[in-house]
Structure 1
Amino acid sequence: MIGRLSAVKEALVRSCIAILVATPLLLTLGISAQQAPQQPQISTVPEAAKVGLPDTPQVFSAGAQKYQVVAIKGLVTPWALAFLPGGDILVTERPGRLRIIRKGVLDTQPIAGLPEVSTLAVNAGLMDVAVHPRYAENQFIYFTYSKPVPGGPRDDIVWSGNKRMPGRKRDAVRAALARARFDGGTSLADVRDLFVSEADSQGTSGARIAFAKDGKIIMSVGMPTRHLIGTADDAQNPANHAGKILRLNDDGTVPPDNPFVKRPGYKPEIFALGIRNALGLFVHPETGEIWETENGPMGGDEINIIKAGKNYGWPVVSYGIDYSGNQEGGLSGTLSSDRMRAGMEDPFIFWNPSPAVTGIIIYTGDRFPTWKGNIFVGAMGGENLGARQLHRIVLSPTGRPQSRGNLTMLSELKQRIRDVKQGPDGNLYLTTDEAAGAILRIEPVQ
């Protein structure tokens, strides 16, 4: 086992970006301000009432690149978006509605035919959506949702900060992957579940999906909500779907070449383990690499490159601390104080403090030539309005993050950025995780 390393040594070994926002934090890590990587700070703004999105396009600059943001409004807590051939956009709303934007205009009527979606759990609801690569042939779309456990227990405890408080009843739910046929009309057909996680929770996290280059479905299943004390170890339990990245055939069956398919005691769907809460998945269209964003607890948000059979460490190694403020024990279960261990993967990038990272893409389009190859990551920012933004990470020619390469965009809008996609037109599209939510289209200004 590689024991705890000094922060300087870790930085050299891991080549990660730690976004550090205060000199006292630098000192506690044993790094002087002169030695620390000179990274842009996460901007902070006064905790004022949030300003709604404007009705007209807003123009911004990122270096020499000018761009405008166009808001398509009228959505309620939009979670994810996916493009149909021809450019129409499917959008999931977490309260349990599937919407469609046709020729840039939101249809006022939701698409009918969804199964029962539970919203009586923390972060539960309708989540991701994806379009089959051969949609033109089969008309298949896929979505993830919180499936209520029949007769499952209900919990009337919720959290306010770090205090247990009585609240409304919460369903026990499981993360489910479903498939349906959609011909572009007003309803779904042939809806059926392809996979239902065996991990019960009073809240569903993760549940991102993406198609790999070989046509397999990559799916994240997050950890139970934090008030289920002692559940952090589930991410290391091979007999549990929680805290894992899964790999499935497009009909929900298990591929015979999955890394643990023949190993006793392992769920055969598991592709990688040791994942806390993966809120972003992206498959690079050229390399086929699987990129993932992961929420830590207090600190320790990550970007990882997911590889078959690998262990990404949670909760055995982490750059975060428990919600209780202690490194070990408390609300998340038992957390190790180790940052690295042999046999466990290091993150590509990590953040301290956490901006609550979400959707991720690597830009490959032509509309923003200076952004080609940049990583874009959404951030919901918790209660820090200034950290609700889009991160743009510039890579060096060797594929590592540049020392001054983590830049932020759209802080002025104060919106929780949930999903990030590149459209077929080469523009960027974002969802804002707000009650008065929207799709944001980012397009260049000449």
Structure 2
Amino acid sequence: MKKISFVIICLSFFVSQCQKKTEFKSDDNFSYKAEIVVDGLDIAWGMEFLPDGSILIAEQEGKMMLFKDGKTTQIKGVPEVVYKNQGGLLDLKLHPDYSNNGWIYFSFSGNIENDEEGANTVIMRARLKENELIDKEVIYKATPNTKKGQHFGSRIEFDKDGYLFFSVGDRGNRDVNPQNINRDGGKIYRLNDDGSIPSDNPFVSTPGAKAAVFSYGHRNPQGMAMNPVTGEIWVHEHGPQGGDEINIIKSGKNYGWPLITYGINYDDSIITDDTDLPGMEQPLHYWVPSIAPSGMAFVNSDRYPAWKGNLLVGSLKFQYLNLVFLNEGKVVKEEKLMEGMGRVRTVKIGPDGYIYVSVEQLGIVRLMPN
């Protein structure tokens, strides 16, 4: 009897998952449908659209996949990743001139030194030929390696001038890394596309500093996008318990972690009483409680007229896509999209103008206006 009951419960759960809501209405009564484009994925941490319309996908466990003509193929030649906790194969970004040079940039938690000390964030580039990565080059490797499995950061973006930006989280060492420009971790970095250091980076002439650092005092930025209107690099980052932030990145600025924060420790103890201090930047927006943000994209498509010019941010914790309405650079309203479909890992605007969303243990879905 117990065995029969267990089977019935499992079947009920399966049916409920299959019937998960896929049709939605926004606050202004705009009707849209979330349709699965790529299924069979676990955690698609990063994705990029190639010029032919195919989708390159980074699965956190260490697989890179190419979805083309309805078929998913595994890419060969992916470097070994340290797949542990928050680590693995992470973000993907095409070079702005990809059609001519073929460069694909990606991030992962790696131990390319082959030592015994865990891993840290690696930025690599390669070209794709016959479903295999070739011409692989390490663009940046954060040090030192650590066996801690959290806060790799890893989002990648290019600005309008062709500079490469990426994030490295504080690697769980908040009291040492974020406020120290001589150390990797808790930073946003800027490089030339070949990995060399721009001559006008803010700490190029500072003795002992990491010359690639562009801003510091960050916790774990897992969203990054260029504002298509202003050209600014926007990031969001995980706070502790409360205090997730959206920040506009400026050269040489200190964003405060952990000396200022709107969050507290996970055991409810206080990190600091300060939410602002002289010489430290305030976030454009923060969330209390935390939504656990991941992925970021500006809506630049006419397919969603009421949403155009606003910001999309995934919520891992509450399992929705957050539509952040902006007015003159300030957050004026938020709306939950795709509620209950699953943990949103990343979001992109496709070349067809539609919104594509990676949902953990579901796949990549496309938001289609009804």
**Alignment TM-score, normalising by the size of structure 1:** 0.76
Between the aligned partners of 1:86 and 1:55, the Cα distance in structure 2 is 33
CA distance in structure 1 between the aligned counterparts of 2:256 and 2:96, rounded to whole angstroms? 32
Distance 1:50 1:342 in 2: 54
Residue aligned with 1:233, SS: coil
Which aligned pairs between 1:133-144 and structure 2 lie closer than 5 A?
133-144=96-107
Matched residue, 1:237: 180
* Correspondences of 1:363-382 after superposition (within 5 Å): 363-381=299-317
Question: Cα offset for 1:199?
Answer: 3.6
Q: For residues 15 and 283 of structure 2, what CA distance do their matches in structure 1 show?
A: 35
Residue in 1 aligned with 2:155?
208
The answer as to whether partners of 1:317 and 1:341 remain within 8 angstroms in 2 is yes
For 1:4-403, list aligned pairs within 5 A.
54=18, 58-62=22-26, 63-71=28-36, 72-103=38-69, 105-107=70-72, 109-119=73-83, 121-148=84-111, 149-153=113-117, 172-183=118-129, 185-201=130-146, 202-203=148-149, 204-225=151-172, 231-327=174-270, 335-381=271-317, 387-396=318-327, 398-402=328-332
The CA deviation at 1:286 is 3.1
| Distance change (3 Å), C-alpha of 1:219 and 1:51 | farther
AA at the equivalent of 1:210:
E
Go from structure 1 to structure 2 and tell me whether the alpha carbon gap of 1:206 and 1:49 turns closer, same or farther (over 3 Å shift).
farther
Deviations 1:7-46 (A, max 9, x none): xxxxxxxxxxxxxxxxxxxxxxxxxxxxxxxxxxxxxxxx
Q: 1:399 to 1:96 in 2, by over 3 A?
A: same
| Residues 1:411 and 2:346 aligned together | no
1:426 aligns with 2:353: yes
Task: For residue 53 of structure 1, report the CA deviation from its aligned partner.
Answer: 5.8
Q: Any idea what the Cα deviations from partners look like across 1:222-254, whole Å, max 9, x if unmatched?
A: 0223xxxx6433100111110000001111111
SS of aligned partner of 1:81: strand
Percent of pairs identical after alignment? Answer: 38
Q: TM-score under structure 2 normalisation? A: 0.91
How much does 1:116 deviate? 1.1
Q: Secondary structure at the match of 2:178?
A: helix
Deviation at 1:57, TM superposition (A): 9.0
In structure 2, relative to structure 1, the CA distance for the partners of 1:51 and 1:129 (3 Å cut) is farther
* Other-structure match for 1:444: 369
The alpha-carbon distance between structure 1 residues 363 and 186, as it changes in their structure 2 partners (threshold 3 A), is: same
- Which AA in structure 2 matches 1:320? G
- 1:145 deviates by 0.7
CA gap 1:373/1:117 in 2 versus in 1, 3 angstroms? same
- Matched residue type, 1:245: I
Q: Which amino acid aligns with 1:430?
A: V
Q: For residues 197 and 102 of structure 2, what CA distance do their matches in structure 1 show?
A: 22
CA–CA distance in structure 2, aligned partners of residues 431 and 52 of structure 1: 21
Contact 1:205 1:222 in 2 (8 A): yes
1:200, 1:55 → 2: CA distance?
Answer: 44
> CA, structure 1 residues 231+102, in 2 after alignment: closer, same or farther (shift >3 Å)?
same
The answer to whether the 8 A contact 2:43-2:345 is kept is no
- Kindly indicate whether the alpha-carbon contact (under 8 Å) linking 1:393 and 1:407 is maintained by their aligned counterparts in 2: yes
Cα separation, partners in 2 of 1:87 and 1:174, compared to 1, 3 Å: same
Equivalent-residue separation in structure 2 for 1:299 and 1:428 (angstroms): 28
Q: Which has the bigger relative contact order, CA under 8 A and spacing at least 6?
A: 1
Residues 316, 343 of structure 2: 8 Å contact kept = yes
